[in-house]
Amino acid sequence: MTREFEVRREQDLPASPEQVWAAVATGAGNLGWLYPMEVEPRVGGKVTRAESTVVAWEPPSHFAARATLGDEFSNTLSYRIEPVDGGASHLRMGIHWVHEGVWDEVWDRKADAAEKHVDLYQHSLAEYLRHFAGRPAVYVKAVRPEPTGDPADFAALRRRLGLTEDAAVGDRLPLDVPGPGGGPEEVVVDWLSPDFVGLRGPDALYRFFNGSTWNTPIWLAHHLFGEDTDEQQSTKAWNAWLNDTQA
């Protein structure tokens, strides 16, 4: 028996098709809003996203990559980019899962997580193109060691960030950035939901991920655009921050 799952999103972006293409179809671009994903630029090329293969390569308009797991599962990521008036672009992206045979009980949880993550990432893409397009980025990730099923854990992290219960997108607040070159900086809340917090600084997109919805660890993934950012030191500092049990 075949089961399928799809996520489809469209949005206008404040960048040319060439800039959007560089953001979604190159390793350097993906660091600025998504996660490390290198792309070999040709049909049949390798993509470091679940060992995917490029199945469409038509710069700057169509890129797609497909991952397969045996004969039972495939996951296709696709982007179609069209120019619009004023030098902007219209992006249509999609994720398509196909599963043959028997699926496990976590299918619905994985699908829910995928759809909500897509919304955050597509928003982050627009933020990157609007504020940081073309700037070299460092990707910093930190994860707590244990899964959580308790929403109070992420609520505590939100309070630690200085978010009140009535916080809203557009609010400004100080963030004490850990690590070398850190310190207090003003950030803007650019995304806020029960599952994610997004903060935009003058040289960073800070992203915090709740785990309780899907019984996974709380984690963070930041995109840092400072010229002197040290990836190793920043990763160490944010890991210490996330796992500070005394905070």
* Whether 154 contacts 144, CB under 8 Å: no
Sheet with 73-84: list strands edge to edge: 2-13, 88-100, 73-84, 62-69, 52-58, 46-47
Tens of pLDDT, residues 90-130: 999 999 999 886 666 778 888 999 999 999 999 999 999 99
- Cβ partners under 8 Å of residue 79, min gap 6: 24, 25, 62, 63, 64, 91, 92, 93
Are 125 and 23 a contacting pair, CB within 8 Å?
A: yes
Q: CA 130 to CA 15: how far, in whole Å?
A: 8
**How far from chain centre, in Å, is Cα 52?**
18
Assess contact for 131 and 202: CB atoms under 8 A: no
- The pLDDT assigned to 245 comes to 66
Could you tell me which residues come within 8 angstroms of residue 78 by beta carbon, excluding any fewer than 6 positions away?
56, 62, 63, 64, 65, 93, 94, 95, 96
Average pLDDT of span 22-35: 98
Cβ contacts of 50 within 8 Å, gap of 6 or more: 67, 75
Q: What distance in Å separates the CA atoms of residue 167 and residue 187, rounded to the nearest whole number?
A: 13
Q: Report the C-alpha gap between 113 and 211 in whole angstroms.
A: 10
55 contacts: CB under 8 Å, gap ≥ 6: 43, 64, 65, 66, 76
Asked whether residue 21 carries a pLDDT value surpassing 80, the answer given is: yes
Amino acid making up residue 194 = P
> What would the two tokens of residue 119 be?
């919304």
pLDDT 10s digits, 153-187: 999 999 999 999 999 999 999 999 998 777 899 99
* Confidence (pLDDT) at 17: 98
User: Does residue 71 surpass a pLDDT of 80?
Assistant: no
pLDDT digits (tens, 9 = 90+) for 204-233: 999 999 999 899 999 999 999 998 899 999
Where would I find the H helices in the chain? 17-25, 27-30, 107-131, 151-160, 231-242
The confidence score (pLDDT) of residue 103 equals 63
DSSP letter string, 92-108: EEEEEEEEES---TTHH
Higher-confidence position of 111 and 62: 62
